[in-house]
Structure 1
Amino acid sequence: MEATPHTSGEPIILSHIMPTPIRLIFGGVGLALTILLLVELGPALWPPSFLTLFFGIIVLGGLSVTLAFVAGSALGPDQTWEIRPRKLTITYQLFNQTSVKTYDLRDFESCDVASSQYDSDVETYQIVCRLPLGRTVQTGLESTPFLMAILAFLQNPIANFNVPRHAEIRLRSPDFSKREEAERALAHLMKR
């Protein structure tokens, strides 16, 4: 993604938005595949037999993928970053809930540009801001604690809930397609 063009006094605005039709498609596909998996392989789990463990592993593996589609479509908030000199405003939106979080540059332990290449050949870049020890990222959508608990469980089901995970202490911007754009946005944030 490219940042919006700006002059020196205007903010840089980045966004990562999943349109509602795409959310519904991912959620519907995930739900349909979950039902299909349970209808087709569920009978192999009961009554218990020699193959129950084998089919149980397949069903659990399949459910982890299909439920991730459902959770990602239902729980992944849209983000809009507004970068001003020494100030960052992030707007989170999930369906009809909106939350705005504002950070001063002093709120961060460090900020830098990092590669966000995961599984594709195209390398993208993000601004990564680390919060001080003891502070965690809050989206402001905690008014749905049940859904947030499901998302936390799906992110890392075996995690110790007392220790913040890597993703909870770092703010990661939407992706930039060029490193120079990410560095320019970071320089704009660090400007006095």
Structure 2
Amino acid sequence: MSRKVLRDEAGMFLLAGTITTAFVGTYTVWAINKHPAAREKLAEELKGIDWDLTEAKLSDLPYLTAVIRESLRLYGLASVGAPRVVPKGGRQLGPYFFPAGTVVTTFPYTVHRDPAVFKNPLAFEPERWLNPTKEMESAMLAFGGASRVCIGRNLAMMELRIIVAAMLKECPNMSLADSCTDESMELEEFGALLPKARRCELQLKLEV
């Protein structure tokens, strides 16, 4: 590969592997601070983990993983799935026929909010991932699906577990700042789904 191709590929990996994890982590921290019950359960689960946070320790925590998966379901950055072209002969999908050559895609945002798959789909309920159904697993497209799965998904999950665990253990007295509102955290299409304010501001209650 030429230097230009190498540069472009490296730039894409840096972009894909940083902004995505950063903003999903931002939304996860926002969500657990918006839902005290979820935060308490998470804090309780993390009590048994020492300060040396490693993937080996965190990957075995079911509620931590459930919290992150629920955040990915509601706030995953990918708004549009990878497009595909209908092959020769066309394809029938339910009552719809798609002619050959038609470009089709799946919108994760919509699938992740399908009430036929996710009960109470707009609610942040990590408990749903403690015993997910087969349909839920199939509909979870935060990292793509089948042959279009993100090659960095394991790294992303590792990073998100450490981000959330570190925030809760290092800053047990954190809370959302007054400037962090539902409006400022509203999803906005910007090539990816990002919070309108591009940040989640927190505050710390200092112990006297």
Considering the TM-score relative to the shorter chain, is it more than 0.5? Answer: no
In the superposition, the TM-score normalised over structure 1's length comes to 0.25
Normalized per residue, the structure richer in helix is 2
In the superposition, the TM-score normalised over structure 2's length comes to 0.24
Normalized per residue, the structure richer in strand is 1
Larger Rg: 1
